[in-house]
Amino acid sequence: MAETKEFSFSDVSEHTSKKDLYLVIHDKVYNTSSFVDEHPGGEEVLLDVGGQDATEAFEDVGHSDEAREILDGLLIGNLKREAGDPAPRAQTATSSSTSQSATDAAGLGIGVYALILVGGALAFFAYQYLQSNGQNKS
């Protein structure tokens, strides 16, 4: 590609059909129309992110080197960001949100264990109380 073409989000968002499908990944614009039928994940995956920034979806799947090579062959230009366009999703934000999710899950796990422990203690004391009341009546 001698001269790199630039596309705005508005330009990209006009290409959302199976026969005319553009995606943005890492601020590069790809024409994936010829690959829709060959996509291993099915055409719906591509159509869901058609005309949008698909960076997060692409990276979340963990595509192979071969997939990245195929993507390079579909490159048609760069995204020209303008005022009012959605901000790019930084990789650090994705990893920090993953860390936050892991922290939340760990907090939930401790809470569940605490709930089980308190419930077990209550059940034990209720059992003891009922046993002692039963012996007093006999």
Structure tokens that stand for 69 in this block = 């090579």
What is the layout of strands, in order, in the sheet containing 16-17? 6-7, 75-79, 28-31, 20-25, 16-17
Q: pLDDT tens digit string along 62-98? A: 888 998 999 999 999 999 887 777 766 654 444 444 4
| Extended strands (E) in the chain | 6-7, 16-17, 20-25, 28-31, 75-79
Give the pLDDT confidence of 20-47 residue by residue, as tens digits: 999 999 999 999 999 999 998 888 999 9
